[in-house]
Amino acid sequence: MGYGSYSYDAHESLTRERAHVPRQALFRQDRCHPLMEPHGVRFRESRDSDGHPNSLGIVFALDVTGSMGHIPELLARQRLPAFMKALLEAGVADPQVCFMAVGDAHSDRAPLQVGQFESSERQMDQWLTSLYLEGGGGTEGMESYELAMYFAAAHTDLDCWRKRGHRGYFFMTGDERPYGYVSRRQVTDLIGDTLEQDVPIRHVLGELQRGYEPFFLIPDLARRRKCERDWRELLGDRVICLEDATDTVDVAAGLVALCEGAIPDLDALAGHLQRGGLGRERLGAVIRALTPFAATLGRDGTPHPRLEDEPLPEHDSPSGLQRLTENPHR
């Protein structure tokens, strides 16, 4: 999938028109939509086309349990157009987005829902608003995030990876810990695959990382205490702690832009987001969330060590970015 053209203006108009629509009128599913059932799906495909010759597959795996269902609503009402605009303006020409939904396989009716990769605003929106926001969740401080990771690793096919050896992006939102393994029984029941045994989550993550750059986004600082340590043991600095769920799309777009080299560093990203209209408070929060991972790429704006006779780069004077990253929550 992934055909059709994208219009930011049309997308922005679509979200603006529903700003005050009741949640139950926006997300009308009372069970998993039949087209989002993962059972029997061979592949969800992100494909090149004449209109999108350099497709880039991007998965948003959204926790839709009781404490996290506001993020899909936030995307549908306000923020998804901003994500696409930020990517396109940063030079990521052909993003294709697939939405998944994650719950708990021990207690929920629909612990895994899977859409298609899409390029156009209407098709993207159709899958997003077809999510069943079950609002359930587990009772042990865990959710079945590993099932979404397994599905993406085993049942998606990206031309960016197949043709160009270029990884896509896998963003998962959540505020709980993952289970330590993928259950063979759950995989059979929910997806239809036959596994010889349960699969440790580290093995699933290794398979996912073959074709994706994975990130786990924790929605705010209060909830990081519940799950951050477990996720950092798996993903290290790819665990991104937000200060507010509102920043989800700006952080995700920034991660793509930095990894792709479309934006050279956080200084440039801050300028890019500011020109796009992001206010100072939110801009500072986004840059603070991104700084630990950007440092692993050498793109956090920190000057590199230099030889004594090497001239000082012009941008090594104190910058506005340094002020933005002073965390008011410390």
Give the single-character DSSP code of 62.
Answer: E
Structural contact between residues 99 and 60, judged by C-beta atoms closer than 8 angstroms:
yes
Tens digit of each residue's pLDDT, the chain (330 residues): 557 789 999 999 999 988 888 888 999 999 999 999 999 999 999 999 999 999 999 999 999 998 888 899 999 988 899 999 989 988 899 999 999 999 999 999 999 999 999 999 999 999 999 999 999 887 789 999 999 999 999 999 999 999 999 999 999 999 999 999 999 999 999 999 999 999 999 999 999 999 999 999 999 999 999 899 999 999 999 999 999 999 999 999 999 999 999 999 999 999 989 988 889 999 999 999 999 999 999 998 776 555 555 554 444 444 444 444 455 454
Which residue type is seen at 132? Y
Which DSSP state fits 301?
Answer: S
Q: What structural domains does the chain harbor?
A: 8-262 (3.40.50.410)
The CA distance from 193 to 187, in Å, is: 6
**Measured in whole angstroms, how far is the alpha carbon of residue 293 from the centre of its chain?**
15
Cα–Cα dist 272/50, whole Å: 29
With contact defined as beta carbons under 8 Å apart, do 263 and 272 qualify?
yes
Is residue 253 within 8 Å of 86, Cβ to Cβ?
A: yes
Q: What are 218's strand-pairing partners?
A: 241
Compute the 3-state secondary structure of the chain and give helix, strand, coil in percent, each to the nearest 5. Answer: 45, 15, 40
